[in-house]
Chain A
Amino acid sequence: MLKRFRSLLRVLTRRRDFEAGMAEELRFHLEQYAADLTRSGVPPEEAARRARLEFGGLNSVKGDCREARGLYLFDEIERELRYAARLLRKSPAFTATALLTLALCFGANLTIFAVIDAILLRPLPFPEAGRLVTIFNTYPKAGVERDGSSLTNYYERRGHIPAFSSLSIYRFGSAIVGEAGSTGRERITQVSPDFFTTLGAGPAFGSVFTDAETTYQTDDVAILGDAYWRQHFNGDRGAIGRTIRVDGFPKTVVGVLPAGFSFLSSESQLYLPLASSPEQRLPRERHSGGNVTQMIARLKPGATLGQAQSQIDAQNTALEKNDPQAKMMADAGFRSLVVPLHADQVAAIRPTLLLLQAGVFALLLIGTVNLVNLLLIRASGRSKELAVRQALGASRRYVVAEVVVETTLLTLLGGLLGLAVGAGGIRLVAALGADRLPFGAHIAFDLRLAMVALAAAIVLGGVLAAPIAWFNLRVYPANALQSEPRGGTAGRAAQSLRHGFIVAQIALAFVLLAGAGLLGLSLKRAMAVSPGFRSDHVITGQISLVGNKYPSPSAGLAFTGRLVDELGHQPGVLSVGAANNIPFSGANGKSAAAVEGHVLRPGESPRGHYSYGVDGDYFPAMGFTLRAGRFLTGADSRRGVRVCVVDEDFARYYWPHTSALGHRLFQGSEPGPEGEAFTVVGVVGSIKQAGLTDDAAQGAVYYPYVYRPDSNIFVAVRGSVRPDSLGHALERATRQIDPELAVNDIQSMDDRIDSSLVARRSPALLAGIFSGMALLLVAIGTYGVLSYTVAQRRREIGVRMALGARPEQIRGQFISLALRLLAGGAALGLAGAWLTGQAMRAVLFHVPAHSSAILAGSAGVIAIVALAACLLPAHRAARISPMQALADQ
């Protein structure tokens, strides 16, 4: 078998050699034979004639030889291809429409598939990645859906959950790396020693971290990413044992990761041990995850998610027996959830992506239907030719093969163009922010995608061929060859098929339009939401206060004080503030606050609140509104007054009937000693914390920075000048105070709010593009089919007009046909849109799944497009001149 295949391949690749060799061989034979005949006394001319005669037809012998070498099928396909190409060239308008349709539909599908492939389909790049899970604490009744895992969780679970073969924790962060004077900020990942074992992928050379390296005194080691190693050590294996400085501390390189290593969406090039002190591992720290430390684990072969979950639950229950916080945590609905790692990463974006894929698939369906209709029309035009060929003995197989070759040629060409469109589309979605999605950086146009497109093109070729072949086989020579080929069953059946397809098309476009409308309206509603503060003219930036210069919160406080002062005197600056976090930063952790005198009602659970430490004129800078009392100022931090400001949601929740001012609260979930109480001195308006579409009014507490310090601070500057010049001022002032510090992530608040909407805007925009394309296709399809119907019934119309029918009657007849198709399509579309609305509930914002405005709007748009597409053919029908129509043919 293989041998024959190879022989065939050899002949195919050297086809010209094969033909030349065969000709020469046969010529040699004829000449030798003729020469032998001459030698036996036959005159030369007679000899040549007899040799040819006895040999038989040269061409048929050659054909037999080719067939003997297995070339027959290929020759036939080549012939068909040439025929198909000629047909396509002969009707450029049809071919261009078809190719454009295919290119757009394929391109759109490829684009979305590339996104889905990169994000949802590709497994994580680790061996048996399906066994990787993540475990996180959740306190749903306290409004904290997700709180990561604590160090205590890690040390308690490690080795004690039989369903896991390995369990580890990690923490994303950033650090200043390099010697003084040539430092750069790098993303880092702190990991427990077993992190690489859990993943099943570790350093290319060198070693992983050990348990001994998990204390603050011994964590002076680092593992480098391949890119960092190549860039800073020139790919030298001698890097092992060398020292790099991270946040000013020396770290010895112990390992280098392989080139392909990437963990989730992290671009981290530096892995450090996740060090902790014994105090941080105590049981009382069990619930202090704070969503910064995350846990992953690998399921043992044969172990299930359910087993792991019940073992974790059992351990939690056992540990809670001696836990004074147990009651409160139970009230908060505490659980530790085990979730597949990959699914967890993409859970938020999954419904949107699937919806978009459904949308582009609908577009492909519309395009396909369009093509079938166009092909059917063409086939009707060729039915006479086909009938002649069938009468002359063309086999059924041949008729089918011809159609299949033609449609496949068409879809393959369209697929090739679609690849180009898809490549552009992938760039478009990247520009729309797809690269910021989890694994979005992996979205790429690659061979795998091209193969999928090729396979899809071939399948589509077959799908398109089926109805056309059916039609061609039903052409009855006797009917088709009559001078008036109307009335054949194939003609009537084909016509209802065409009309059915138009109805389907209109319905699909309707659904697509309604879906896009829902997404668009959701976006509009989300954009209309006020963030609760004045976000214009504010620039924000992030500064990491690390290294030997900032060992304590007070050193950080000195820095923020100077920075606020320095910036405040710059021209154009109105107010400056600093905080440990700002809204829309993407890192909004909640923590508990115990309100003095507040007794939990039965069934009420402690709540997580957004908590900030603020310095300088943070509130005026961010444009907060004051409802009562006063704002916090820099003086509160410096004088060390225990005061705080709460937002309206907080005040309303705890003191619904009285003023919040003067009441006291404590940081943490339990009231502390008398001296640690914070007195409420102000109430500010509630703001959106994580995104404009936040619905929960979770409440927020603002403390003086000194009571809630962080080595990572945000600075907010409000000014009367353009935000980017404020940004420059911020950078200049920072460098003036400490040349080694850098300001990162400088963005205006407006931009931050804007990018928080990317997960809504891009899908809405894409859906809008898709429905626009769908409408165009519907217009083309309706126009094409009606034009054809008019052309086909020219004679009949001519006769009727000769008998006295008025042009308006003729026009009305076609418009009423279009209206009937439209009504059918709209009715189906309405049902489809209803189902789609149901499926979209999860991604809608303040829009009912069955918005009658959107349904009516979609119906209106579709009606306009479909009627516009039928006006021209109807008009043409009304203008048919009876004389001419009857004189034709």
Chain B
Amino acid sequence: MSDKSADLLPGTLDMLILKAVSLKPLHGYGVLLRIRQISRDALQIPQGSLYPALYRLEHQGLVATAWGQSENNRRAKYYTLTAAGRRRLREETAGWHRLTSAIAAALNTTSEEV
């Protein structure tokens, strides 16, 4: 692993999956590749925890599944974002931005500002 890669913060995997799936329906392996791609290889997802997360999201009704053809013509299960999933992604994104800017602001504080 390169120096640039980072471990996932707890709770962020769901958000990343929703984001990946929101761009285009994907099968499980595709989700893995897509997250790698959109994070420019910075985020490493433990493969074993990807599928339980996907199943959990399906159970919560945030993603829907359908069997389809993969790019090399094999049967694969595709995940798409549901309306509830889209709403959840929006909320989580906004929440994430609030959190990061707050943490950034906190970290940028200088002694004069206290």
Residues on A facing B (Cβ under 8 Å): 3-4, 7-8, 21-22, 24-26, 28-29, 32-33, 54-57, 60-61, 64-65, 67-70
Contact = CB atoms under 8 A, between A and B. Distances in A.
6 contacts: A7-B59, A7-B61, A28-B28, A29-B47, A55-B47, A70-B59
B48 A28 contact: no
A68 B29 contact: no
A56 B46 contact: yes
A794 to B, nearest CB: 54
B39 interface: no
A70 B58 CA distance: 11
Contacts of B46: 56
B56 interface: yes
A19 to B, nearest CB: 13
A61 B27 contact: no
A32 B31 CA distance: 12
B52 A65 contact: yes
A4 B59 contact: yes
B99 to A, nearest CB: 25
B4 interface: no
Nearest to A60: B48
Nearest 4 Cβ contacts at the A-B interface: A56-B48, A64-B52, A68-B55, A68-B56
Nearest to A61: B48
B62 to A, nearest CB: 10
Most buried by A among B48, B55, B60, B75: B55
Contact of A33 (B27, B29, B76): B29
A402 to B, nearest CB: 27
Contacts of B48: 55-57, 60-61, 64
Contacts of B52: 61, 64-65, 67-68
Given A28-B29, A32-B29, A65-B52, A4 B60 contact: yes
Given A21-B77, A25-B76, A29-B29, A65 B51 contact: yes
Contacts of B74: 28
User: Secondary structure of the A side of the interface?
Assistant: helix
Interface string B15-53: 000000000000111001000000000000011110111
B55 A65 contact: yes
A33 B29 CA distance: 8
A424 B107 CA distance: 80
Contacts of A68: 52-53, 55-56, 59
B59 A28 contact: no
A590 to B, nearest CB: 76
B70 interface: yes
Contacts of B47: 29, 33, 54-56
B58 A7 contact: yes
A786 B112 CA distance: 88
A3 B61 contact: yes
Given A55-B48, A65-B52, A28 B58 contact: no
Interface of B: 27-29, 32, 46-49, 51-53, 55-56, 58-61, 67, 70, 74-77
Contacts of B32: 29
B34 to A, nearest CB: 13
B63 to A, nearest CB: 11
Contacts of A57: 48
Contacts of A56: 46-48
Contacts of A54: 47
A707 B19 CA distance: 103
Given A3-B61, A55-B48, A60-B48, A29 B28 contact: yes
A56 B59 CA distance: 23
Contacts of B60: 3-4
B70 A28 contact: yes
Nearest to A18: B55
A67 B75 CA distance: 25
A7 B53 CA distance: 15
A379 B29 CA distance: 51
Given A7-B58, A25-B77, 8 more contacts: A7-B61, A22-B51, A24-B77, A28-B75, A56-B48, A68-B55, A68-B59, A70-B59
A24 B65 CA distance: 14
Most buried by B among A21, A33, A68, A69: A68
Contacts of B77: 21, 24-25, 28
Nearest to A70: B59
A25 B70 contact: no
A55 B28 CA distance: 13
A69 B29 contact: no
A24 B59 contact: no
A28 B76 CA distance: 7
Nearest to B71: A32
Contact of B75 (A8, A24, A26): A24
A16 to B, nearest CB: 16
A716 to B, nearest CB: 80
A65 B61 CA distance: 15
Contacts of A24: 75, 77
B61 A25 contact: no
A635 to B, nearest CB: 96
A712 B47 CA distance: 93
Contact of B51 (A3, A25, A32): A25
Contacts of A21: 67, 77
B51 A26 contact: yes
A711 B88 CA distance: 85
A639 B61 CA distance: 98
Nearest to A26: B51
Contacts of B27: 25, 28
Most buried by B among A7, A28, A33, A70: A28
B29 to A, nearest CB: 5
Nearest to A55: B47
Contacts of A65: 51-52, 55
Contacts of A4: 59-61
Nearest to B49: A64
Contacts of A70: 59
Nearest to A8: B59
Contacts of A26: 51
B55 A69 contact: yes
Nearest to B76: A28
Contacts of A25: 27-28, 51, 76-77
A28 B67 CA distance: 12
A840 B58 CA distance: 64
Nearest to B61: A3
A8 B60 CA distance: 10
Contacts of B76: 25, 28
Contacts of A61: 48, 51-52
B82 to A, nearest CB: 10
A70 B52 CA distance: 11
A695 B26 CA distance: 91
Nearest to A7: B59
A87 B13 CA distance: 44
A60 B52 CA distance: 10
Contacts of B55: 65, 68-69
B88 to A, nearest CB: 13
A350 B49 CA distance: 65
A69 B59 contact: yes
Most buried by B among A21, A29, A54, A64: A29
Nearest to A3: B61
B30 to A, nearest CB: 9
Contacts of A60: 48
A25 B70 CA distance: 12
A504 B66 CA distance: 62
Contacts of A29: 28-29, 32, 47, 51
Contacts of A67: 52
A39 to B, nearest CB: 12
A70 B61 CA distance: 13
A24 B27 CA distance: 12
